[in-house]
């Protein structure tokens, strides 16, 4: 079998990985082997953290909705329950934006639901 040196292809492969790792510290940006390991690790962590970002934003939205709901004398869980019972389908992101930007408008769905019940 003949020898294959992989000159330009291997160089381009290594260059791409070192370019990806250019902002890393120390040997992680200079040596190919450690840069390759760090690239793999960085991409794995990025994948995990994309899902964690969704989780943390949902927690933030729930905290904001809960604070706004408690100002109106109702808990978060009962507010969400009442909204679904009355077929008010607003997602948590929208509810949190309304709760933080406009306190009057955020209290209106709660008051409407309370008026229908009582």
What was the pLDDT predicted at 116? 67
Q: What is the pLDDT of residues 71-83, one digit of tens each?
A: 888 889 988 888 8
Q: What is the pLDDT of residues 30-67, one digit of tens each?
A: 999 999 999 999 999 999 999 999 999 999 999 999 99
Report whether 65 contacts 95 (CB < 8 A): yes
Report whether 78 contacts 109 (CB < 8 A): no
Report whether 72 contacts 111 (CB < 8 A): yes
- Burial letters 61-95, b for 16+ CB under 10 A, else e: bbebbbebbeeeebebeebbebbeeeeeeeebeeb
């Amino acid at each position: 079998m003949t020898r294959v040196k992989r000159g330009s292809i291997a160089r381009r492969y290594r260059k791409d990985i070192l370019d990806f790792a250019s902002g890393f510290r120390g040997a992680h940006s200079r040596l190919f082997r450690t840069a390759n390991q760090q690239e793999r690790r960085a991409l794995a962590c990025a994948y995990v953290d994309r899902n964690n970002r969704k989780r943390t934003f949902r927690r933030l939205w729930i905290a904001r909705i809960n604070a706004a709901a408690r100002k109106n004398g109702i808990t978060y869980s009962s507010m969400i329950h009442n909204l679904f019972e009355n077929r008010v389908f607003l997602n948590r992101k929208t509810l949190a934006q309304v709760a933080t930007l406009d306190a009057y408008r955020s209290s209106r769905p709660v008051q409407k639901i309370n008026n229908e019940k009582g």
